[in-house]
Structure 1
Amino acid sequence: MKISDIVALGLWPESKKTTSKKGITELEGLGYNLFYIGKNADLYTCPGEDAKVLLVRSDRCSVFDIPLNLEIDGKGVSQTAISNNGAQFAKESGIKTAILSEKIDQSLSVAPRCQLMELCKPLEAEIDGDVVQFEFIFRNYLTGSLFDACQNGNDPYGLELSSDLKQWHKFETPLFTPTTKGIKDEPLNSALVREKFPEIISSMEKLFKDFTAFAEENGIVVVDTKFEIFIDANGQWVLGDEVLTPESSRFISLEDFNNANYISMDKQILRDFGKANNWKEKSKELKAGEKLEVDVPDSIKNTILNGYTTILNSLSK
């Protein structure tokens, strides 16, 4: 299937720029053709007529939607394995993901970075007169941007939280804090979105609760996670490719958490480093297609990679 066929099916937004660059030689030689270069992964069309694409994760890194010149050797392989585990966990909970059980030839050197994906389009709906796409975020603890909002008396999700709540307060039931998906993620009223997608939200909430319990039994605290929902060619909703991974969730080892040592085992480490080094401000000078040149110590890279490895080893079923 060609990219033109994918666009014709309404499964690829024309606004997303495709590339004419050649991809990995061993894939191109088998009829997989690179058509999109993302911040952290690339997409290839597949030989044959089936509506699917090949996702190939790189070792590239990004934070705050800023493309970086940074790569961490081995991150792409670990992330793919964690994503496959997350998809399997969702499947056992009765939730379909866009990740296909079919695999490419496992003898290929690039195989550990690859996932065959069903072609889908993002879930969209009208909210306050605008058609938006969504990120469905669930939180077990009060921290990050939501804690800051509470401290400042803001209520971006209509949750009516008390300003007296302390950081790292644990919620009896996970909070649902949806946002739009776009250049800037805007908070949405939690109850309003829940009313629009009651089945999806209740399914995601249960998945998050079950995964939280499973992770804690295996020594990891799940702080929060983000789910992205897509619509397949049959009009059914499915989960995206980042299912309960360090790219979509925040994980802390149970031992560290119990000692009030809130060190993340995910890309939050890189976010914190980037925040300390003013990457957001520096990125404003980037031109289209440029990456921010950053100097990240090996200690930071190793901490991130070790965190991914620990998550993979602890949460593999």
Structure 2
Amino acid sequence: MPILDTVNIPELPNHYHGKVRENYDLPDDNRIIIATDRLSAFDTILTSIPYKGQILTQIARHWFDQTSDICPNHVVSYPDPNVVIGKRLEILPVEIVVRGYLAGSTSTSILTRYKAGQREMYGITLPDGLKPHQKLPEPIITPTSKAFDGGHDEPLSPAEILFEGLLSEMQWQTLSDYAFKLFARGQEMAAKRGLILVDTKYEFGVDENGTIILADEIHTPDSSRYWIAETYQNSFDNNKVPRSFDKDFVRNWVSQRCDPYKDPIPEIPANLVRDTSAVYIKAYEAITGDVFDAAAVDQHIHARVRRNLEPYFTV
């Protein structure tokens, strides 16, 4: 199974090594973003999942194409299945999370906080009597601080965002409007594919003119929670989590065998890697409606990426 776990193209300028992406800043204020197959969790790279980088790039491409009438996005071109050329932006310090259901397991999720007795959070008051995984009366935005350099995201309210000067009032209103419209489009299109878009996060930046532009990725299974619609009602009635694209096999396997923040990470079994890859393929096909032809993927991905990026070589 072909894997792109490292990228080394010295002919490209201004390299920045991310956890799962390799970035090169071009002289024309654009950025080459190469999605590798690396899987990051617990502040480390656990393994690489075949096709992951290509699948996430192409799912994001599907959604960028389907939402370009709502707001501008950073996409300039796609020279390779694993690569997007994007407009280089100043990323805004607030991450926008839109939620349509009472769900989640992290410390910033509304379900975790609701179970702990909180009703006021993120500048919003939720009603009493909601059950886990229940649809909210209407979608809400739960913004968090955008943690750079390995920090942790912290919950914010709109009042805090404005008071701390993270965004101007006009920027906040624009981001909110874009986010709700993007989410509505996502839910509408997902429903036609037999899916529920439960929640998602958006990242925005500004260009040299101050224009707010959608960046990073959109509605991928890594940035969004999808449930299989036909499983929802029965699961909800029986207090179970609706079936989703469970890609956390590797994370769960590791956490069951060690403290991943303190102990050495055991070697990830090959069958676990294959199973996770199959989930990404299934997610791609369910979300886009297209068939993923694994046999057509070049076995030498690095050589293909390098070949397709030759027009951007500077040395």
Question: How would you bin the TM-score normalised by the shorter chain?
Answer: 0.7 to 0.9
Cα distance, 1:160–1:180 mapped onto 2, change above 3 Å: same
Cα distance, 1:217–1:135 mapped onto 2, change above 3 Å: same
Matched ranges for 1:79-90 at <5 A = 79-90=56-67
Quote the residue 1:213 is aligned against: 188
* Counterpart code for 1:206: K
Which residue of 237, 241, 244 maps to 1:264? 244
Q: CA deviation at 1:277?
A: 4.9
Cα distance, 1:217–1:172 mapped onto 2, change above 3 Å: farther
Cα distance, 1:298–1:171 mapped onto 2, change above 3 Å: farther
Matched ranges for 1:8-87 at <5 A = 23-24=7-8, 27-28=9-10, 31-33=11-13, 35-46=15-26, 49-63=27-41, 66-87=43-64
- Listed one character per residue, the Cα deviations across residues 238-286 of structure 1 (whole Å, up to 9, x for unaligned) are 11121111121111222333442523315455555555456xx53257x
Cα distance, 1:151–1:95 mapped onto 2, change above 3 Å: same
- Listed one character per residue, the Cα deviations across residues 164-202 of structure 1 (whole Å, up to 9, x for unaligned) are 311011013112111011111110114655983112201
Q: Distance in 2 between matches of 1:266 and 1:308?
A: 9
Quote the residue 2:113 is aligned against: 149
Quote the residue 1:234 is aligned against: 209
Quote the residue 1:96 is aligned against: 72
Quote the residue 1:310 is aligned against: 282
Matched ranges for 1:246-261 at <5 A = 246-260=221-235
Contact 1:219-1:254 at 8 Å conserved across structures: yes
Cα distance, 1:78–1:236 mapped onto 2, change above 3 Å: same
Q: CA deviation at 1:302?
A: 3.8
Contact 2:35-2:83 at 8 Å conserved across structures: yes
SS of corresponding position for 2:74: coil
Quote the residue 1:112 is aligned against: 81
Quote the residue 1:10 is aligned against: none
Tell me, yes or no, if structure 1 residue 224 matches structure 2 residue 202: no
* Counterpart code for 2:112: D
For CA contacts below 8 A with separation 6 or more, give which structure has more relative contact order: 2
SS of corresponding position for 1:215: helix
SS of corresponding position for 1:208: helix
Contact 1:176-1:190 at 8 Å conserved across structures: no
* Counterpart code for 2:95: E
Q: CA deviation at 1:294?
A: 4.1
Contact 1:256-1:263 at 8 Å conserved across structures: yes
* Counterpart code for 2:273: K
SS of corresponding position for 1:251: strand
User: Cα RMSD (Å) of the superposition?
Assistant: 2.6
Quote the residue 1:162 is aligned against: 127
Quote the residue 2:100 is aligned against: 140
Q: Distance in 2 between matches of 1:156 and 1:277?
A: 35
Contact 2:247-2:279 at 8 Å conserved across structures: no
**TM-score, normalization by structure 1:** 0.74
Quote the residue 1:129 is aligned against: none
Quote the residue 1:9 is aligned against: none
> Which ranges in structure 2 are unaligned for 5 or more consecutive residues?
1-5, 163-167, 236-240, 290-315
Q: Distance in 2 between matches of 1:263 and 1:270?
A: 18
Quote the residue 1:122 is aligned against: 91
Cα distance, 1:158–1:41 mapped onto 2, change above 3 Å: same
Q: Distance in 2 between matches of 1:268 and 1:206?
A: 29
Runs in 1 of length 4+ with deviation above 6 angstroms? none
Q: How many residues align?
A: 264
Q: Distance in 2 between matches of 1:270 and 1:199?
A: 38
Contact 1:119-1:233 at 8 Å conserved across structures: no
> Which ranges in structure 1 are unaligned for 5 or more consecutive residues?
1-21, 105-110, 124-132, 286-291
SS of corresponding position for 1:103: strand
* Counterpart code for 1:156: M
Quote the residue 2:310 is aligned against: none
Quote the residue 1:3 is aligned against: none
Quote the residue 1:15 is aligned against: none
Cα distance, 1:146–1:236 mapped onto 2, change above 3 Å: same
